[in-house]
Structure 1
Amino acid sequence: MDGSTLTIVWYMSTIIIGVLFAFMSYKKRNKEVYYIDKKVMYISFIILWQLLAFAKCGTDNKSYKILFDNAKDLQFTLGYHQIELGFGLFNYLFRCITDNYYVYNATLAFIFLLLIYVTLYRLKDQVHFGWGILAVCSMFYLQFMNLKRIYLAAAIIFFAIPYLSKKKWGKYIACVIVASLIHTSAIIMVIPFGIQFVLKNRIKRYQMIVLFGLAFLGIYLFRNQLFSWKVSSRYTAYGVQEAQMGIAQFVYHFPIIWVLKNRSSKTRAELNIEQSCFTLALCSFVLSSMGYFVEMIGRASIYFVFAFAAIPKEVQFNWKNISSRISFGRQANKILMILLWGGYYALRLIVYCRSSLFSDGIMPYINIWGITF
């Protein structure tokens, strides 16, 4: 097999095995209570972590190494490269501990995955742990090898969303501030906070869809005026004046929004998560569509991945309650939903692999020992 084929096999086998162990770790103690076998979960974590930790590939990998090697020169890091204060200080402190870039890279990967695993573990009674890890791996995993900084910030936001759903505003805002100190674009996550704080579930979901639809229409009609400004000299290259709308975002978001609109969870905790997922999915659709005009804004859609990974079990696997006109047996319903959700996440992963593995510089995969897969 050539290098490209070996890389695909390596990526897919790592994801499949890591996800399988995540599914195996999630067990039911009784009808309502779930628990996670920590030993099996640790195996899943290590399998997924090692691919990221030992990677020596990615278009931006050399830039991260330069930043780390010069981390003690804060004027170079924060001034010349205009790196955010939080990430610059993190590099500085880590550089004071060790000058080994590979230890630093492995630590970043560890923190990134730890935030995700801890979040899904905390939500084990509302969210299926295995499906959550599958969703993360399909749209939020391989990309870390190239864009470490923004994905680390996104992992912090992922960790923060349960605070949003529980209306613990102070903790949520604190996490957003920390994430913004890693990557400025994370400040965009004040939007879902503002929506949930102001609306407080006082309007129906179809009304929210109408409001977001109007916002989307306004953005589309006035796109040239809205995106003629420059946010930062570092992001100037991302600005474009004209772009055509694509259907990909409709395909990605419609299933999630449709399911969340037509279902209501049984428990208050699930309902809170469900409402947050609904808000995040709508925000994600609008911002992802804006990415057709300004690439950097489109990248910010990764902050909303929680909506795709943490759909409550009661919503995710009860198709026949969505529409009384559709009747399936219990087992047929379960099999159908497994095929639909599995197919959806597989599609997201396949689309990424076909479109971005080469541009992200992670094809082929090269590890720290110089071995190419």
Structure 2
Amino acid sequence: MIVLLILLSAVLLAFLLRKSDKIVQLIPFIILFLFSVFRYQYGNDYLSYNQAYLKINSGYESFFSKEILFTTLNKISPNFRFFLILTSLIFVGVLTYFLMKNLDDDKRWMGILILVINPYLFLINLSAIRQGLAIAVFVIAAYFLWKRKIIWYALCIIIASLFHKSAIILLPIYFIVNDKKNSVLPMVMIIMLIVSLLWSGFDELLIKITSLFDDTNYNYYVSQGMSNSIRATLLSSLYLIYTFMNLKKLEGKELAFGKLYLIGCIFSVLAFRLSMFTRIQMYFDIFSIVALPAIFSKVQAEGNVVLDASRPVATLWNIVNKYAMPILLALVYFLRFYSFMSNPLWSSFTTYNLPFM
């Protein structure tokens, strides 16, 4: 499969070039950028965005008129190919900086692997251009969140909402995520997760919230009550458990990014109640490309597990945490990528087309 070969080539090069100069280490990201730029009729939303571009530039009052920055990018682009180049530069450029800045050279290949093997991080965001741009701005906002610069954070979120209006829900995140080591926030979020899953009035609350966005797609998902399967929820809970149990090992900005990813894990489990939560999850899942390699490195740096007969449960967890969980999580990623590519719903992602062929 050509798509898989291209994506994994970026991972392989990131691994092989991990000891090279910084400029050379950009080659894997250049591959991802070229993959983004030269795609043609690739992804479920390609044609709809192409039509939106034509309508916006013909003066048609489109559905995206409230998302001013997205509309502006369309208007300043002389053609749709230039629009793809511009949006790809923003999305891939921000992720390149994020990984180069926050992962050491020998860990960066793991971040790229997570980025490309989780189809909802790279492939889907290439297709869902508006939310992909909003996610890129949120990644920038996370820096100001960590630095506790509320005005700059709020400004970034407002900018993100002008690409995709759903981003406005990210404003309160500033008050619940920081780089302080404490057990209160994770426990509160876990309790909220359980209450949300059990509360019978949860669906009615969601309908009221989504109505504020005046988004027919969101309202449709809520009204239909579509939810994730038990199997998908159990697999997602593995990432929640791994992140939650190891969050205390992180420090500084890594801890802040880990907390953001933990929120994404919680939304992935909440999708058992309503699959629309995966759209919110996308904003937070992007931080897995830094959080998971950081956690893995911290766990592996602890050395060999010491067998302690007086603490059998703790010893068993240490063995599972150090050896079994990383293998299991990697396996789930690959199985989900295979499932994604095998699903007829995502068939437009299986064949990579070039505009000149």
- The answer to whether TM tops 0.5 is yes
Q: 1:70 to 1:327 in 2, by over 3 A?
A: closer
Pairwise CA distance, 1:21: 1.8
Q: Distance in 2 between matches of 1:81 and 1:278?
A: 31
Task: Give the 3-state SS of the residue equivalent to 1:26 in structure 2.
Answer: coil
Pairwise CA distance, 1:163: 3.0
Say whether residues 1:232 and 2:217 are aligned partners: no
The residue that corresponds to 1:33 in the other structure is none
Q: Distance in 1 between matches of 2:105 and 2:24?
A: 20
Q: Distance in 2 between matches of 1:155 and 1:245?
A: 26
Task: Give the 3-state SS of the residue equivalent to 1:175 in structure 2.
Answer: helix
Deviation digits for residues 320-371 of structure 1, max 9, x if unmatched?
Answer: 6797414989xx9977666344323223322322236x446334332111x3
Normalising by structure 2, we get a TM-score of 0.80
Say whether residues 1:251 and 2:238 are aligned partners: no
Q: 1:361 to 1:312 in 2, by over 3 A?
A: closer
Say whether residues 1:367 and 2:348 are aligned partners: no
RMSD: 3.4
Task: Give the 3-state SS of the residue equivalent to 2:349 in structure 1.
Answer: coil
Say whether residues 1:351 and 2:339 are aligned partners: yes
Pairwise CA distance, 1:13: 0.2
The answer on whether the counterparts of 1:192 and 1:283 sit within 8 Å (CA) in structure 2 is no
The residue that corresponds to 1:305 in the other structure is 285
Overall identity of the aligned pairs, in %? 22
- Equivalences for residues 180-329 of structure 1 within 5 A: 180-196=161-177, 201=182, 203=184, 205-218=186-199, 221-229=200-208, 230=211, 231-232=213-214, 234-235=216-217, 236-243=219-226, 246-263=229-246, 264-265=248-249, 267-286=251-270, 288-292=271-275, 295=276, 297-311=277-291, 313=293, 315-317=295-297, 318=299, 324-326=314-316
Amino acid at match of 1:232: D
Q: Distance in 1 between matches of 2:202 and 2:253?
A: 38
Which of the residues 38, 58, 79 maps onto 1:54? 38
Amino acid at match of 2:176: I
Q: 1:355 to 1:155 in 2, by over 3 A?
A: farther
Task: Give the 3-state SS of the residue equivalent to 2:249 in structure 1.
Answer: coil
Q: Distance in 2 between matches of 1:93 and 1:271?
A: 39
**Paired residue total:** 338
The residue that corresponds to 2:50 in the other structure is 65
Q: Distance in 2 between matches of 1:209 and 1:275?
A: 12
Pairwise CA distance, 1:189: 1.8
Q: Distance in 1 between matches of 2:227 and 2:56?
A: 41
Pairwise CA distance, 1:166: 3.7
Q: 1:37 to 1:347 in 2, by over 3 A?
A: farther
Deviation digits for residues 96-126 of structure 1, max 9, x if unmatched?
Answer: xxx2321221222222111111111121259
Q: 1:285 to 1:269 in 2, by over 3 A?
A: same
Amino acid at match of 2:280: A
Pairwise CA distance, 1:11: 0.6
Pairwise CA distance, 1:191: 4.3
Pairwise CA distance, 1:291: 3.5
Q: 1:268 to 1:158 in 2, by over 3 A?
A: closer
Which of the residues 339, 342, 346 maps onto 2:330? 342
Q: 1:206 to 1:354 in 2, by over 3 A?
A: same
* Structure 2 residue ranges without an equivalent (≥5): 307-312
The residue that corresponds to 1:44 in the other structure is 28
Q: Distance in 1 between matches of 2:80 and 2:13?
A: 30
Say whether residues 1:88 and 2:79 are aligned partners: no
- Equivalences for residues 141-152 of structure 1 within 5 A: 141-152=122-133
Deviates more, 1:314-323 or 1:226-235: 314-323
Pairwise CA distance, 1:61: 2.1
Pairwise CA distance, 1:16: 0.6
Q: Distance in 2 between matches of 1:301 and 1:260?
A: 15
Task: Give the 3-state SS of the residue equivalent to 2:353 in structure 1.
Answer: coil
* Structure 1 residue ranges without an equivalent (≥5): 1-8, 28-35
Pairwise CA distance, 1:290: 4.8
Normalising by structure 1, we get a TM-score of 0.77
The residue that corresponds to 2:91 in the other structure is 112
Say whether residues 1:135 and 2:114 are aligned partners: yes
Amino acid at match of 1:179: A
Amino acid at match of 2:233: F
The answer on whether the counterparts of 2:64 and 2:70 sit within 8 Å (CA) in structure 1 is no
